[in-house]
Amino acid sequence: MSDILMSLYPWTKSLHIISVIAWMAGLFYLPRLYVYHAEQSKPGDSRDEIFQVMELKLLRLIMNPSMIATWVFGLALVVTPGVVDWEAVWPWTKAGSVLAMTWFHHWLGRRRKEFMEGESPISGRTFRIMNEVPTILLVIIVVSVIVRF
């Protein structure tokens, strides 16, 4: 099994990076859509309906599949011999950041359901602030993996 994982390593790593890029694109864009949704529409108006369709498609067609692919290919990399040194700090900072990114993804999904229910207890300003979360996590992940402290 380890021979197969090692021979597939370049493909696994490539697919992991591609899925991370797609996931990150959604994590950057969905909170921005929520800013406009919260600030420029009212429940039931035509803009509300348009935002709901855009948010649903972004979450279901791009973000969910790319998050799942990121996890699948990332876990395949973790079990590939020689890729991760569990004695180092970097895999733990990356793992914690990926878990936080996954929590953020689900937090965004819950906000979409609130918009669907006609509720929006979160302001556009809060969505603007939360829009920085994936950037901070991305910096931690990239520095962890590249610097490998």
Average pLDDT across the chain, whole number: 94
Residue 23's pLDDT band, with cuts at 50, 70 and 90, is very high
pLDDT in tens, 73-96: 999 999 999 899 999 999 999 999
Which residue segment(s) compose the domain that 141 sits in? Answer: 2-147
Q: Is the dihedral of CA 42, 45, 47, 52 positive or negative?
A: positive
53-60: list long-range contacts, CB under 8 Å, 24+ apart: 55/30, 55/112, 55/115, 56/112, 58/26, 58/29, 58/30, 58/33, 59/26, 59/30, 59/108, 59/109, 59/112
Record the pTM: 0.92
pLDDT at position 3: 86
φ, ψ of residue 122 in degrees (nearest 5): -105, 135
Q: How many domains does the chain divide into?
A: 1
